[in-house]
Chain A
Amino acid sequence: MIETIDTSLIDWSRAQFALTAMYHWLFVPLTLGLGVIQAVMETIYYKTGNEFWKRTARFWMKLFGINFAIGVATGLILEFEFGTNWSNYSWFVGDIFGAPLAIEGILAFFMEATFIAVMFFGWNKVSKGFHLASTWLTIIGATLSAYWILVANAWMQYPAGMAFNPDTVRNEMVDFWAVALSPVAINKFFHTVLSGWVLGSVFVLGVSSWYLLKKREVEFSLASIKTGAIFGLIASALIVWTGDGSAYQVAQKQPMKLAAMEGLYEGGNGIGLSGIGLLNPGKATYNDQADPFLFNIQIPGMLSFLAERDMNAYVPGIRNLIEGGYPTSGGTAALSANEKIARGKKAIKALSDYKTAVKAKDTEAAKLHRAALDENFDYFGYGYIRDVSELIPNVALTFYSFRVMVILGAYFILLFILALWFEHKDKIKDMRRLQRVCLWSIPLGYIAGQAGWIVAEVGRQPWAIQDILPAGAAISKLDTSSVQITFFLFLILFTLLLIAEIGIMLKAIKKGPEEITEN
């Protein structure tokens, strides 16, 4: 892609960022999910005055606290990386990325930090109502925090509400609400937070089932399973809805990602959704004659419906997106990748010429070059693409990750229904097989969340910012070895944190809710 940048530097920078983001995402979803569940339990205590619910809420609050403490500030490392490893990107987007992150820091973080102290220290010291309000405000703060981070991420997937200033070489925010309320951000927020709710529910089911397996804390476990399963079922129903919204947004804004998610090389009208499929590893290029699938069972017309709300609508495949010429929703013929690359090069050349004209104080020439830049800026990032195949993300990783996420999502719905049904029938406490299934579903909750992020992030490659900045242009010119060193440093640090979390969590679970007396 880039002549002056070693491709291994691009790969290591990507790997380093992926590693830190994925580890960070081990802690965040449980905070979001378990936080709401414990708040619901405390609300029941507030309403009923039943000490059992206080004890139950406090136990889950303790596990919430362990997860929160180990995970807190791990996301800051991503910000370190922006400044060091992704300096071109940081400069290029600074004004837009800075605003959501600043709001996140000031509003949400301080909200969390203030009320979390009352939540943990305030039992029996503040009124029940004030304590309950603090618990809810802590989790609302954490959720708002996630919102602003996801707004920043959504902007990278769908840059909106900005204008490029060639004098500062920065994108500047011209419409805050277009950034904060972009349809991609809204969908991403609900879908991501709900995935945390599902994980929290699976976690509660799993830990409670462990107690049932050990024939301990039966009343506590049954009440927790019931609460977790109801909450999980509601979250799962909503996640199906937001998943549909996310797929629609991907189809509209990132069609290449959708094509990769589906292993769709050849588009057309009335395209089916791949239900169960195995990709053909022999498919080497987008335009060879090899069948993309070894086998593929499709739901007819469903991809067209998900993408365009019309069973017979046109959905472009990878080859169509590269070669262009297919009809767009606006009625025009889509540009080919080569045409986009040509426009991208024009935009970069125009930026270069504009800079030269400004230095020479040639205002007329500067005006002309500025106009050429504005005209072609939507394709700016394509100017860095050397070969059209670079525009295709890793199809296998995106395709299979998407299926892992969806299949696990469906599995969780079944699990919640079964748990709720057998709890209702008063049978679950004797169903050791189901208890084991619930326990061993905890890691699956994490795998589903990670798979979702792989779809979102691998599927949008090569872009750091969709269409306007590829990863290769976004990274800093560093020694690859320095990125490798920090990659392994993070691997060690985060692994130690994870071991600490699991160790402390297991210790707290083994002690059980009976031990809850102090913080």
Chain B
Amino acid sequence: MLKPAIIQIYRFYLEGFRRMTWGRTLWLIILVKLFIMFAVLKIFFFPRFLGRFDSQGEKQEYVSGELIERAITP
């Protein structure tokens, strides 16, 4: 019962993608965009700033230090 349903859904998508005309261009744009975003921008330009710390405790220490240090002390 489940298997034919999955096959039906698979065929639905397959046929849909096969019969695309202008949709192919859009998919190409989506894929290029996602590649640029995740394989270029995310990796080379947007590492997680707090990712340099190994533990949650170190992150807490760093942020609390920053928040205190940046304030103007009386």
Contacts and interface: CB of A to CB of B under 8 A. Distances in A.
Given A476-B49, A518-B20, A345 B67 contact: no
A506 B1 CA distance: 45
B13 A485 contact: no
Contacts of B21: 518-519
B59 to A, nearest CB: 6
Nearest to B49: A87
Q: Considering the complex of A and B, which 10 residue pairs feature the smallest CB-CB distances, nearest first?
A: A121-B16, A87-B49, A69-B26, A80-B46, A348-B71, A83-B48, A476-B49, A169-B64, A84-B46, A91-B63
Interface string B19-45: 111110111011001101100011001
Given A4-B70, A168-B60, A87 B48 contact: yes
Nearest to A169: B64
Interface in A324-374: 344-345, 348-349, 351-352, 355
B37 A77 contact: yes
A384 B66 CA distance: 12
Contacts of B69: 4
B27 A69 contact: yes
Given A3-B72, A125-B12, A84 B48 contact: yes
Nearest to A386: B72
A482 B49 CA distance: 13
B63 A73 contact: no
Interface residues of A, number: 59
Contact of A519 (B12, B22, B63, B64): B22
B66 A351 contact: no
Contact of B41 (A72, A90, A489): A489
A62 B22 contact: yes
A485 B40 CA distance: 13
A508 B22 contact: yes
B4 interface: no
Nearest to B25: A504
A80 B34 contact: no
Interface of A is mostly: helix
17 contacts: A4-B70, A62-B22, A66-B22, A69-B27, A69-B30, A87-B50, A120-B16, A121-B16, A169-B60, A169-B64, A345-B71, A383-B71, A384-B71, A384-B72, A485-B45, A486-B45, A497-B29
- Measured as residues with beta carbon below 8 angstroms from the partner, the interface class of chain B is 35 or more
A69 B16 contact: no
A65 B26 contact: yes
A349 B69 CA distance: 10
B50 A91 contact: yes
A477 interface: yes
Contacts of A72: 30
A26 interface: no
B37 to A, nearest CB: 6
A88 B63 contact: yes
Contacts of B2: none
Contacts of B25: 504
Contacts of A386: 72
A351 B48 contact: no
A497 B33 contact: yes
A74 B36 CA distance: 11
A70 interface: yes
Interface string A79-101: 01101110110111000000000
B70 A478 contact: no
B26 to A, nearest CB: 4
Contacts of B26: 65-66, 69-70, 504
B7 interface: no
Interface string B47-74: 1111100001001100110111111111
Given A80-B42, A497-B33, A88 B67 contact: yes
A504 B22 contact: yes
A473 interface: yes
A472 interface: yes
A483 B63 CA distance: 20
Contacts of B71: 344-345, 348, 383-384, 473
Contacts of A299: none
Nearest to B59: A91
A500 B29 contact: yes
A167 B61 CA distance: 9
Contacts of A493: 33, 36, 41
A297 interface: no
A5 B70 contact: yes
B36 to A, nearest CB: 7
A355 B42 CA distance: 34
Contacts of A344: 71
Contacts of A384: 70-72
A76 B41 CA distance: 11
A351 B64 contact: yes
Contacts of A62: 22
A418 interface: no
A73 B19 contact: no
Given A92-B67, A348-B68, A519-B23, 5 more contacts: A69-B29, A81-B46, A91-B50, A345-B71, A486-B41
